[in-house]
Amino acid sequence: MNTQTSQSLFEQAKTVTPGGVNSPVRAFRAVGGSPLFIKSAKGPYIFDEDGNQYLELINSWGPMILGHAHEIVEKAVADAIQFGFSFGAPTRKEVEMAELIVSMVPSIEKVRMVNSGTEATMSAIRVARGFTGRDKIIKFEGCYHGHGDSFLIAAGSGAVTMGVPDSPGVTKGVANDTLVATFNDIASVESLVLANKNQIAALIIEPVVGNMGCVLAEPGFLQALRQLCTREGIVLIFDEVMTGFRLAKGGAQARFGVEPDMTTLGKIIGGGMPVGAYGGRREIMDCVSPLGSVYQAGTLSGNPIAMSAGLAVLHHLNSHPEVYTRLDQIGAKMVDGYRASMAKLGVNFTINHVGSMFTLFFTDQPVTNFEAAKGSDMVFFGRYFHAMLQQGVYLAPSQYESLFFSVALQDAHIDQVIAANENALRQIL
Ligand SMILES: *Cc1c(COP(=O)(O)O)cnc(C)c1O
């Protein structure tokens, strides 16, 4: 496979952009080698600058649930650009977007649009702090909530101590206010709450984790968090930037039947454009400026082109429930195919999946939290990733990522992925 153009673009990029990329995972550091520079995408396929074609299972890290360059989104954007790009004033489309979100996600009574998932989570915890008058938050090890300072925090040494900065540039002051619990371990949350009585404003969680690979909450875990937060007056925030509109039209909260107080959204909601949103119970959202005193703003928030792309996708999902049935079928067929191949080949593996989210871990142990995810064979994953590329299948370039399926995948594409998986593994075993 010739990737010369990508390689030379990467060399060029490195001289003018840190690490040659605008988001670290794109640099292929976790798998080695040089990243592909993408020129175009259509349906389930992506094309690089050297003209190579790949079936791909990243879907821009989630947004492209209908596949790339879907006609309804193309048309919505083409129609919108005739009217101008940005006004910095309210528009009809923002009303339509808010009404649609509120109707699709029942726990959201009011919603504010922002420009990324990071902005959504940063804003949500500020509002939760303003609402409760408390400073601290709890997050889970291995959950990703964007690159806001408060979330780039690692667990401290003792179970009940404060977190420590996970990146230079994050202050100890900020780290003092973030407590880190263990996913699927309710006792770890209880002990943090007990040691910080009446000081915790919010607990934020990915209800299905996508960012340590796909990791599901064990039965009862989300319900237990709900009860604990209600009892302690803690704002429960579901970060559904990945899972929102993906696992059901009402997100993971609808699929698993647990209602958070606040929800953060992103990815699918922009249909591929830079969009995020946060929303929740009315009394909490009424704290947001200009109605309330918690300040949060955005020059390009609710941008009409971005709203048009997002609305096209959400309207489609809202009126086509069969999309979710199909996504579940795709997931199930993929898992069955993988399991059959893996059993034949005798590879140590664990598959975590729900609906259209999927991770193949190279470990025979169950993966229920970050510690367990770290037990996967990362070196083997790197070789597997490149072998899959050679087979024409483009996976997320890190073991700590979920794959995302789109409805653009036909059964023949799924068979192609399964065959590629088997060939790739045979090659590297
Ligand atoms: C992607 C992601 C974010 C961050 O969104 P950006 O748009 O990249 O800022 C936050 N939370 C979760 C769960 C995500 O998957």
Residue of 118, 140, 214 to mutate, ligand 1, most atoms within 8 A of C-beta: 118
Residue labelled with tokens 């770290």: 374
* Enclosing H/E stretch for 15: helix 4-16
Protein residue with least CA distance to atom 6, ligand 1: 117
d(CA 243, CA 329): 17
Q: Which atom of ligand 1 is nearest to the CA of 206?
A: 13
Residue of 239, 241, 269 to mutate, ligand 1, most atoms within 8 A of C-beta: 241
- Do 253 and 193 belong together in one domain? yes
Cα 83 to middle of ligand 1, angstroms: 30
Question: Helix or strand or coil: residue 133?
Answer: coil
The candidate with the shortest Cα–Cα distance to 307, out of 270, 344, 335, is: 270
d(CA 203, CA 299): 29
Per DSSP, what are the bridge partners of residue 351? 360
Angle among Cα 244, 246, 250 to the nearest 5 degrees reads 55
DSSP 80: H
- Do 335 and 241 belong together in one domain? no
Last residue of a domain, one of 262, 292, 319: 319
- What is the residue-level pLDDT of the chain in tens, covering all 429 positions? 899 999 999 999 999 999 999 999 999 999 999 999 999 999 999 999 999 999 999 999 999 999 999 999 999 999 999 999 999 999 999 999 999 999 999 999 999 999 999 999 999 999 999 999 999 999 999 999 999 999 999 887 665 567 889 999 999 999 999 999 999 999 999 999 999 999 999 999 999 999 999 999 999 999 999 999 999 999 999 999 999 999 999 999 999 999 999 999 999 999 999 999 999 999 999 999 999 999 999 999 999 999 999 999 999 999 999 999 999 999 999 999 999 999 899 999 999 999 999 999 999 999 999 999 999 999 999 999 999 999 999 999 999 999 999 999 999 999 999 999 999 999 999
Last residue of a domain, one of 319, 342, 358: 319
- Do 167 and 103 belong together in one domain? yes
- Domain CATH code at residue 206: 3.40.640.10
- Do 287 and 315 belong together in one domain? yes
- Do 128 and 271 belong together in one domain? yes
Pocket of ligand 1 (CB under 6 A): 116-118, 121, 144-146, 206, 210-211, 239, 241-242, 266, 276
Domain range for 273: 71-319
- Enzyme catalytic residues: 144, 239, 267
Residue labelled with tokens 């309210």: 90
d(CA 236, CA 119): 18
What helix, strand, coil percent values describe the chain, rounded to 5?
Answer: 40, 20, 40
Q: Is the pTM of this model over 0.85?
A: yes
- Do 146 and 222 belong together in one domain? yes
Cα 426 to middle of ligand 1, angstroms: 35
Question: Helix or strand or coil: residue 273?
Answer: strand
Cα 36 to middle of ligand 1, angstroms: 22
